[in-house]
Each structure stands twice: as C-alpha cells, then as structure tokens.
Amino acid sequence: MKSCGIIAEYNPFHSGHAYHLQEARRQSGADILTVAMSGNFTQRGEPAIFDKWQRARAALENGADLVVENPVLGSAQASDLFAKSGVRILQALACDWIAFGAENGSSQEFSELAQALVEQEATINQTFHQVKNDGRSYAVQMNEAIQKVMKPSRIALEQPNNQLALAYLKENVSYPHPMQALAILRRGADHHAQQAVSTHFASGTSLRLLLLAKEYDNLEQWVPNAKTLKVLEPLDWEKYWPFLRYQIILQSHADLQSIYQMEEGIEYRLKDKIKQADSFASFIGLVKNKRWTWVRLQRLCLYVLLGIKKEEVLSFYKNEPVLRILGFNKKGQAYLNQLKHQRDLTIVTNLNKKTASLLPVEIRADRIYILPSGKEQNFSRIPIMVS
C-alpha cells in the first residue's frame, strides 16, 4: 500500500482541511492518508482549542486513514524543529508522498527551492546575521537574506504555509529516501484572517475566535463536525493563566533558567512583569519587545507551564520517535499492521506501565491540559476506530 503523509494541527478541523485531505488522495493516488497531528498543544505555543481525540476523530471522519500524534516536544516548536518532528514521523511510517498546503507554487518548484536552500544554508545564515535585530520579524529578515543569496523564486517566501512547506522539504531531503513533494494550493481565507469569510473556506484563526465567543451561527458551512463542537468547552491561554502565574511566582530565577529556551536573562523580565499582569494577554503585552515576539513568548510560557527542560528536548530529537496512535479506520489499521512486520517501530496504542514510561512528557502535558475542566481523563485511552 502507498501512503501520503500530512503534517497538521486541525485546530480546529475545518472544511479547508477536508479539501486538503481530498486533494492529497486524488493527486497522489495513495491508498492511505497518514496524518502526523499535533497533540494537545500547538506550534504557536497555544493549547489546542479542543483535545487531540476530538480533532483526530474529525480527521478520520473526513478522509484520513491513520492519525499519529506529533508530541508536544515536537509540536510546540519553531518551524524548523516542528518540521523535523513531523517529517521523521512520516518517514518512520514509510510515507511515499508528503502533501502540504501552499499559497502559490508547484510541487517541483518547492522541491527545487528546498534543495537549493539546503545547499546554500551556510551563506544564507551568514547573510541573515548581517541584517538581524533591526526590529523587523524573523520571517521578514530571513526572507531578505534568502533573496540576497538565491535567484528569484515565484514562491512567496513571506507566506506562513509556504515557509512551513519549505521547512518540511528541507528536512525531508536529509533522508535516504525522501518523500515526493505534493503542493496543494490554499483556497479561501488567508492563514491568519481574523474574520471568517462568506465562502466554504475560513481561516483557523477566525474559527477559533468564533468558537471562543460561542458564536455558532452558520458554523456548519466551515466546520464539518460543528454540532459536536457546540457541546464542547473551547480552551485558550486565558484558561491556563492562573496555573502559569503560579509557576512563575513559585519558581526562582535559577529554577526558570533550567526551562527550555529560557535565554538572555528573560526569566528576570518574567518574574518582574508577572506582578503587574492580570491576564495572559496583558502579561505577554508587558514582556514582549523586539527580540521576544508574542509567539516566541507563548512557546516559552508553555515550556514553563509544562515544566519542559532543555535536556528533555535534546533527548527527544536524539532518539527514534515513539509513535502514539490516536486513531485509524480499517485501511489505516491494516497499513499499521503491515508496517509492524516490515519495520522496527516503537508504537503505542494504549498506555500501561511499560508504554507510559516511553511518554513521560506527553502524559504530563495531557494532565495539565485538562486542568481548566477539573475533570479526570482516561489516559490509557485506545485509538479511535472509525469505520
């Protein structure tokens, strides 16, 4: 069986994601669609609006065959490490293609540009450091460095989907058998659009705002499982603010220094500004500056909240991935059983004393994720099976 892999968050799952799954199957001709999906915390350092089980089920009901968790040590990272984690999961699962959303450009153009970026990486980094710290965003400055080094490209490098696509493909080329690139052009609202547009497609950002405000009118046109979502309690950073505040007040400067990505003495600024803030948004607003952007601080706060240490991240990327299966259909289950006989994989389908020892950070993160609800969760949950 041939498999097409996708790296996703589905936060929340919407009609654009369903379209992407449909096109990935049609354009690749793959037998299996395999998704490496972020767990309960996402790439921008935020809690997922709904838990990983609900999001995995939505994916399976709308085209995916197999959903595997991208653990928090891989999912809550800047684009290069996020890509590294997702790609190695898809590589471990023997995917033949990697399908990604793009604002413009063809599969061949993305593949060629990614290869060129890898070959010119040292020169690009040297050029980037010459323009760094001038007040503009990392993405804008890196784009300028790339443009200075590379020949002109049709691909819009400032677009977030294109940036992630190139991060995937740059990581992918390091493997002995790279997956084939499959660019699927984005339709509908812009990636970070604040308002859902009156079309079949809307941005994840706009849908999160609607769900948090519990504005459910016409939600069905953008979200396939809208009726299910109406009975769930959406989560955002403000729900975790009391727990984060407690951690920052409790821990000493030395304690905070052991947290992953705690650099440049930022722990002193966190300890100082926590006294003035009355919400997560106000806290980030007080701490942020040119060097510490909103998203970078969100990730750092997540590492504090979850108690993620530097050595835990180093160990995660050094070792082979542990594949936590969130769900499958019959085809996905058959494919997984086929892989078990062909490859030496560490696969977790339910938690017991032995398998739990393989996922200590993920279990810790999941327990913290449910704190706002005050409800215990079945952490030995078996994968979702969708017919």
Residue ranges for the known binding site are: 7-20, 101, 161, 186
Which residues contact residue 279 at a Cβ distance below 8 angstroms, ignoring those fewer than 6 apart? 238, 241
Helix axis angle, 294-306 to 360-369, nearest 10°: 100
Closest CA to 359 of 81, 51, 70: 70
What is the distance between the alpha carbons of residues 35 and 324, in angstroms, rounded to a whole number? 12
Helix axis angle, 121-131 to 107-119, nearest 10°: 80
The DSSP output letter for 259 is: B
List the end-to-end C-alpha distance of the chain, in Å, as a whole number. 19
What is the distance between the alpha carbons of residues 151 and 338, in angstroms, rounded to a whole number? 44
- Burial (CB count <10 Å: 0-12, 13-18, 19+), residue 205: middle
User: How remote is the C-alpha of 253 from its chain's centroid?
Assistant: 29
The one-letter code for the residue type at 91 is: Q
What is the distance between the alpha carbons of residues 56 and 53, in angstroms, rounded to a whole number? 5
Helix axis angle, 266-273 to 280-287, nearest 10°: 130
Binding residues for ATP: 7-20, 101, 161, 186
